[in-house]
Chains A and B, each alone.
Chain A
């Protein structure tokens, strides 16, 4: 336990710390994302998390290094994975003296992990950290039924033969059927896609707009791979060198042939298809965070600074807001606290849970009435041109292994601003280059963050 935190206020209440220390993104690593049941089907969360950590170790020369903390999470987790991150660290090339802990905030796990570790670095509690995330929908945990579990637990507590027989006798044949995880909101029974279909209808997002966004995701991700953008962000795994879901040859015509999969029972036309929704995916990602001093001491580059973050939640269960609309509320608060507008960002990375999730957020921020009544703003928050939005593709093309998406976004975003900053070196070197990151999550959650080129 620390005797006194480095930034504790003095008795008069005014902050004594000079300029707060920065948390920087050194770089990232991820596995190419695979489709459920694909090349990673036999790999466990621990396998993939260990692999992605080892890739990061190899990239930045961290063999045997003691990292301040590794935090990681998985959304679909087996009960034996209670210490998933620590076990993965022990299996990696990092020093076994590297502490680790698990985080989980549904699809926002990866970004929340970055935010939490960055804050520890800013406070001086850590000098280095790895934020990671992993998910496998192929090796998803299968649980036993509630009745079987209750009976087995009673059996394990039973002392007498009579008690044991009674516990066993309570088991019915149908209790033996395994219970796979369902991607439904526990409180509503609706799948995420069904929830988003309601929001899509509410905002009147067209099929064409969704397919156009999906196509851009594929073409931009393919172009970024072709340009070598991911050469220092992705480590091949199990023969996979690019994201398996990527369709470089996709077209509006092909996307237009797909039958709607969500919202088919709504009175409005169904617009959401497998093409403009993310597939179930397997994969892992990791981001190396540090203080400037640690990065300099290890002779490592610094891509971006983690500036600030804001989380929001919405009451989706009682019909007030759409399940995936929380980032719409988080972003204006984040901007206000930092004295920024949407125009102050060179890039915006919005997780494409569904094409319509992104389009609903954009529509809400452009809506005068909504911004006034729900966001408490004087008027519309503003618009985001498509040439700043998800410029190297996003989840629709890459896939979305839930907890791994945040790490993919942060590493991509950090590299984008670092490259733009380098381009400006001769002309406009002092201009801040920022990226806004937004991730929606189950449970009506949303996490947003600002990164700025270092």
Chain B
């Protein structure tokens, strides 16, 4: 699949400009080996420092391999039910200007020098993914479902900032249809030769469907607002309508590096059990964040819960409105025909 838009992580953009296909990036499986021996940290986790940000393509390829291993281990009753006690670290990341512009244009952000919170997720995501493809990570990457995401943007991150990323996994727990886990990613901005400041913290909740590692009695009852409970969900007044073209998954894959086959084409999505390609959850959440606009302020908390896939091409009816209860904005995307909710979330200024 060719990149239709401006080639995202600009070739030759220099130091680790992001995940995916950038020529200046280190892609492939062998590159994310630790350069320093695993060392315990203050938090008790062993630190694994990556030589460079790995390419997601290679990680997915490796994810398939570890997923196969998981399947075998599961059948033999040898599946691990604990998370590896490690934190993955990557130093010295920078955004590339071309990559940033391509992302901003696709998501409806104006091309400012401030990195959208969703773009920071794109930059940092491969570090978390590298952790998830470790042989001792208990859940298979292939087929993992993104349930929810929470980002705390503590201060702006700008083009030119030098970023350090740390990622670790926590809170492995049973879900009614499998096992869920949280991946926490922290991004610090260098503030001087030795100092740095925490700027961004993302918490992504994933579900490994059908992988039951833990007793089910503690299972989350489920959180999809469109389906949960006996009260039927009533659509609010819409404020917008997104007509998503069939290629939006491929276009977001280009700027995010997330080339999960379920987003790329009907054919590849069908192979994984979806009738058509589905939009990236983070595309929908990031677009809602863009539409909140400058009112989100410089520091905010941005949350989303994904309730149901958006099939492509498709139309999503959206409400993005001020929410008196939080002092910020709430947003919901749904299918006007079926009345099913696709996603809902909030953007709340921190001060």
Contact = CB atoms under 8 A, between A and B. Distances in A.
B239 A318 contact: yes
B238 interface: yes
A320 B292 CA distance: 13
Interface in B223-280: 235, 237-243
B2 interface: yes
Contacts of A146: 5
Most chain A CB within a 10 A radius of its CB, from B235, B240, B295, B336: B240
A198 B240 CA distance: 11
A175 B292 CA distance: 30
B25 interface: no
A150 B240 contact: no
B313 to A, nearest CB: 13
A172 B240 contact: no
Contacts of B322: 318-320
Interface in B281-301: 291-293, 295
Contacts of A194: 241
Most chain B CB within a 10 A radius of its CB, from A150, A187, A320: A187
A317 interface: yes
A319 B4 contact: no
A267 interface: yes
A265 B336 contact: yes
B112 to A, nearest CB: 17
B329 interface: yes
B62 interface: no
Contact of A317 (B235, B237, B320, B336): B320
Contacts of B319: 319
A319 B240 CA distance: 9
Given A317-B291, A319-B320, A198 B238 contact: yes
Contacts of A318: 239, 292, 295, 320-322, 329
A147 interface: yes
A324 B164 CA distance: 47
A188 B291 CA distance: 8
A198 B238 CA distance: 8
A190 B241 contact: yes
Interface residues of A, number: 20
Contacts of B241: 188-190, 194
Given A187-B240, A188-B241, A318-B329, A150 B6 contact: yes
B104 to A, nearest CB: 13
Contact of A188 (B235, B240, B337): B240
A189 B243 contact: yes
Interface string B196-240: 000000000000000000000000000000000000000101111
A306 to B, nearest CB: 35
A378 to B, nearest CB: 24
A198 B108 CA distance: 24
A202 interface: yes
A392 to B, nearest CB: 35
Given A188-B241, A189-B243, A147 B5 contact: yes
Contacts of B292: 318
A105 B337 CA distance: 35
Interface in A200-229: 201-202
B239 A317 contact: yes
Contacts of A147: 4-5
Contacts of B238: 190, 198
Contacts of B295: 318
Contacts of B239: 188, 316-319
A267 B235 contact: yes
A319 B321 contact: yes
A147 to B, nearest CB: 6
A188 B237 CA distance: 13
A190 B237 CA distance: 13
Interface in A305-339: 316-320
B4 A172 contact: yes
A60 B320 CA distance: 52
Contacts of A175: 4
Nearest to A187: B291
A319 B237 contact: yes
A190 B240 contact: yes
Nearest to A184: B241
Nearest to B243: A189
B100 to A, nearest CB: 16
A194 B241 CA distance: 10
Contacts of B6: 150
B64 to A, nearest CB: 29
Contacts of A265: 336-337
Nearest to A172: B4
A189 B293 CA distance: 16
Contacts of B237: 198, 201-202, 319
Contacts of A198: 237-238
Nearest to B292: A318
B321 A320 contact: yes
Nearest to B240: A188
Nearest to B244: A189
B246 to A, nearest CB: 10
Closest 5 CB pairs of A and B: A319-B321, A188-B240, A189-B241, A319-B239, A318-B321
20 contacts: A150-B5, A172-B2, A172-B4, A175-B4, A187-B291, A189-B241, A190-B238, A190-B240, A190-B241, A198-B238, A202-B237, A265-B336, A316-B239, A317-B240, A317-B291, A317-B320, A318-B321, A318-B322, A319-B319, A320-B321
Interface of A: 146-147, 150, 172, 175, 187-190, 194, 198, 201-202, 265, 267, 316-320
Given A317-B293, A318-B292, 15 more contacts: A172-B2, A187-B108, A187-B291, A188-B239, A189-B243, A190-B241, A267-B235, A318-B320, A318-B321, A318-B322, A319-B237, A319-B320, A319-B321, A319-B322, A320-B322
